[in-house]
C-alpha cells in the first residue's frame, strides 16, 4: 500500500488558517471604511475665514503705541516688513507689538514671518504677527529624509515612503473627516488603522508569508490596544477636554465624541510602534530558521523571544521619554505650583498622557510573544520579510518565490577523468631480468 505524501509546496494547515484570518480582517476593515465613510457636511467649528500673507522683516524700532483695551499709550515695538505674498506683495507695511504681547517673540531684520491680514481694520492694526515661515527648513529636512531612506533602503525604501504617503492619505481622507462627522470612533479607528497596516506592511515588505505573519501579530496587538484604551478611558473618566483645542471642539461641535477622539489617537499612535516590533520579530525568527532549518518551533520561539525582550525594553523606554519630552513644559508649569505630586499625576491633562503611554506600551509588549509564536509555527527555511526583493546588492531582485524555501543552485559539473587501466600482473621472471642503469 502506497501512502501519498503531501507536496512540499502545499501550505501547512496553521499557515492557511492564518492567511484566511488576515484576509477576513482585511475585508471587515474595508467594510468598516464603507460604513463609516464621511458623508454629508462637516459640523461648523466656528472658524472664521482668515487671510495670511508672508513677509520679511526690514527693521524693528522701539516706540509708543495706543493700548487696545485702555485709552492710554504704552511701550511697543514697531516692526517694518516687506510683503512677499498676497495682493499687496512687494509693498512696505508695518505692525505694532505691544509690551504686553508676550506671545510675540523678538524679531530681527531679515526674519521671514507670517502675518494675519485683516483688510477691514485700520492701517495700523491691519497686520499682526502669527508665526515664522518654516517652509524652507522643513522642505530641506523632508528631502534629506527621502535621500537617506532611499540611499539605504533602495527600492524597498521607495516602497516604504509610498506606504507612508498612502497612510497619510487614509488619515486625511477617511479617519479625520469621519471622526469630525461623529462616526463611531471605535469603528473608524480600527478600520483606518487596519487599512494602514495592510498598506504599509505589504507595500514595504512584499506579499509573502513572513509579512502576513507580521501583519497578523500587528492586528492582534492592535485589537488588544483598542479594547484596553476604551476600557481604561472609561474607568478613568477621561473626557478628552484637557486639551484647549478639544474644548473649542466641545463648544463649536458638541456632538463629537471627545473620548472617542482620545482613544482613536491612542490607537493610531500605537500602530506606528507595533509594526516595527512585529517585523523585527519575524525577521529574527526567519534568520534563526535559515541558520538551522531543523530547529524545533519551541526552541526557535525561546531564542527569538530573547531578542524581543531586548527590543521591548529599549522601545518602552523610548515611548516613555517621547511622551515625557512632549509634556515637559506642562510638567515644569505644574512643578512651580504647590499641588501634591499625586494630584498632578491624576489630573486629566497628565492622566491622558499616562494612559496613552502605558496602553501603547502594553500593546507593544503583547505584540512580541504573539508575533514570535506565529512566526515560529508558520515560517519555513527561506521565508523572509524581504523575499522577492533586493537583498542589499545591486544585482537586482532575486528569483525566490513568495512562499517556500529558496531553491538551492545546482552544483557545477565535475570534469570526467578517464579511468586508469590496471597494471599488468607481475611475472616472477621479471626479478631476474636485466635492469636499466642511468649514468
Q: What is the pTM of this model?
A: 0.70
Q: List, in order, residues 6 or more apart from 268 with CB less than 8 Å away.
A: 171, 175, 189, 192, 193
Least confident span in 32-36, 360-364, 414-418: 414-418
Least confident span in 11-15, 62-66, 145-149, 338-342: 11-15
φ, ψ for residue 53 (rounded to 5)? -130, 155
Q: What is the average per-residue pLDDT within 358-369?
A: 86
Q: Is residue 77 pLDDT above 80, yes or no?
A: yes
Q: Which of 32, 34, 38, 30 has the alpha carbon at shortest distance from 178? A: 38
Interhelix angle for 244-252 vs 258-291, to 10°? 130
Q: Do 282 and 214 meet the contact criterion of CB atoms below 8 Å apart?
A: yes
Q: What is the pLDDT of residues 94-114, one digit of tens each?
A: 888 887 777 788 888 888 999
Higher pLDDT, 323 or 9: 323
What's residue 340's pLDDT?
67
In the predicted model, what is the mean pLDDT of the chain? 76
Q: Is residue 146 pLDDT above 90, yes or no?
A: yes
Fold of 52-132: OB fold (Dihydrolipoamide Acetyltransferase, E2P) (2.40.50)
In the chain, domain spans? 13-36+153-378, 52-132
Least confident span in 36-40, 133-137, 322-326: 322-326
What's residue 393's pLDDT?
38
Q: What is the average per-residue pLDDT within 361-380?
A: 87
Confidence of residue 387 (pLDDT cuts 50, 70, 90): very low
Distance in angstroms (rounded) separating the CA atoms of residues 1 and 10: 23
Q: What is the pLDDT of residues 316-363, one digit of tens each?
A: 777 667 666 666 666 666 666 666 666 666 676 777 777 888 888 888
Q: Is residue 206 pLDDT above 70, yes or no?
A: yes
What's residue 76's pLDDT?
83
| Rounded alpha-carbon distances, angstroms, from residue 384 to 147, 212, 213, 302, 398 | 25, 11, 11, 19, 12
What's residue 334's pLDDT?
63
240: left (phi over 0), alpha (psi -120 to 50) or beta: left
Q: Do 132 and 112 meet the contact criterion of CB atoms below 8 Å apart?
A: yes
Task: Report which listed range, 136-140, 241-245, 251-255, 387-391, is most confident.
Answer: 136-140
Confidence of residue 207 (pLDDT cuts 50, 70, 90): confident
Q: Is residue 217 pLDDT above 50, yes or no?
A: yes
Q: What is the pLDDT of residues 170-198, one digit of tens each?
A: 988 888 888 878 788 888 888 989 999 99
What's residue 98's pLDDT?
80
> In the sheet that 92-98 helps form, which strands lie side by side, from edge to edge?
92-98, 73-83, 52-66, 112-117, 127-132
Q: Is residue 405 pLDDT above 60, yes or no?
A: no
* All cell numbers assigned to 412: 557545477
What's residue 185's pLDDT?
81
Higher pLDDT, 386 or 278: 278
What's residue 171's pLDDT?
87
Amino acid at each position: 500500500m502506497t501512502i501519498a505524501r503531501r507536496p512540499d509546496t502545499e501550505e501547512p494547515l496553521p499557515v492557511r488558517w492564518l492567511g484566511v484570518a488576515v484576509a477576513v480582517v482585511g475585508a471587515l476593515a474595508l467594510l468598516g471604511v464603507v460604513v463609516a465613510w464621511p458623508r454629508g457636511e462637516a459640523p461648523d467649528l466656528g472658524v472664521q475665514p482668515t487671510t495670511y500673507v508672508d513677509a520679511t522683516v526690514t527693521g524693528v524700532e522701539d516706540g509708543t503705541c495706543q493700548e487696545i483695551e485702555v485709552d492710554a499709550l504704552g511701550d511697543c515695538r514697531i516692526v517694518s516688513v516687506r510683503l512677499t505674498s498676497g495682493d499687496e506683495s512687494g509693498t512696505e507695511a508695518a505692525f505694532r507689538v505691544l509690551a504686553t504681547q508676550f506671545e510675540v517673540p523678538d524679531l530681527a531684520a531679515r526674519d521671514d514671518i507670517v502675518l494675519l491680514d485683516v483688510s477691514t481694520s485700520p492701517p495700523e492694526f491691519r497686520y499682526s504677527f502669527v508665526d515664522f515661515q518654516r517652509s524652507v527648513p522643513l522642505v530641506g529636512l523632508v528631502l534629506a529624509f527621502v535621500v537617506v531612506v532611499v540611499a539605504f533602503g533602495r527600492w524597498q525604501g521607495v516602497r516604504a515612503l509610498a506606504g507612508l504617503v498612502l497612510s497619510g492619505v487614509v488619515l486625511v481622507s477617511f479617519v479625520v473627516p469621519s471622526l469630525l462627522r461623529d462616526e463611531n470612533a471605535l469603528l473608524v479607528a480600527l478600520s483606518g488603522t487596519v487599512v494602514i497596516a495592510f498598506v504599509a506592511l505589504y507595500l514595504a515588505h512584499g506579499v509573502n508569508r513572513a509579512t502576513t505573519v507580521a501583519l497578523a501579530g500587528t492586528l492582534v496587538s492592535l485589537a488588544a490596544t483598542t479594547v484596553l484604551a476604551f476600557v481604561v478611558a472609561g474607568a478613568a473618566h477621561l473626557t478628552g477636554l484637557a486639551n484647549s483645542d478639544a474644548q473649542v471642539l466641545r463648544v463649536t461641535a458638541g456632538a463629537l465624541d471627545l473620548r472617542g477622539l482620545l482613544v482613536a489617537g491612542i490607537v493610531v499612535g500605537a500602530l506606528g510602534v507595533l509594526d516595527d516590533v512585529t517585523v523585527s520579530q519575524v525577521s529574527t525568527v526567519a534568520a534563526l530558521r535559515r541558520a538551522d532549518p531543523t530547529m524545533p518551533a519551541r526552541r526557535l520561539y525561546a531564542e527569538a523571544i530573547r531578542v524581543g525582550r531586548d527590543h521591548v525594553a529599549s522601545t518602552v523606554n523610548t515611548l516613555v521619554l517621547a511622551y515625557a519630552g512632549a509634556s515637559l513644559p506642562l510638567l515644569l508649569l505644574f512643578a512651580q505650583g504647590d499641588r501634591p505630586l499625586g494630584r498632578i499625576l491624576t489630573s486629566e491633562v497628565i492622566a491622558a498622557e499616562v494612559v496613552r503611554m502605558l496602553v501603547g506600551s502594553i500593546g507593544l509588549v503583547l505584540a512580541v510573544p504573539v508575533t514570535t509564536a506565529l512566526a515560529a509555527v508558520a515560517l519555513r527555511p527561506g521565508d523572509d520579510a524581504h523575499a522577492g526583493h533586493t537583498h542589499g546588492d545591486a544585482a537586482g531582485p532575486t528569483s525566490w518565490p513568495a512562499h517556500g524555501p529558496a531553491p538551492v543552485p545546482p552544483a557545477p559539473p565535475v570534469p570526467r577523468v578517464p579511468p586508469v587501466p590496471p597494471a599488468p600482473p607481475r611475472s616472477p621472471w621479471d626479478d631476474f631480468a636485466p635492469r636499466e642503469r642511468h649514468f
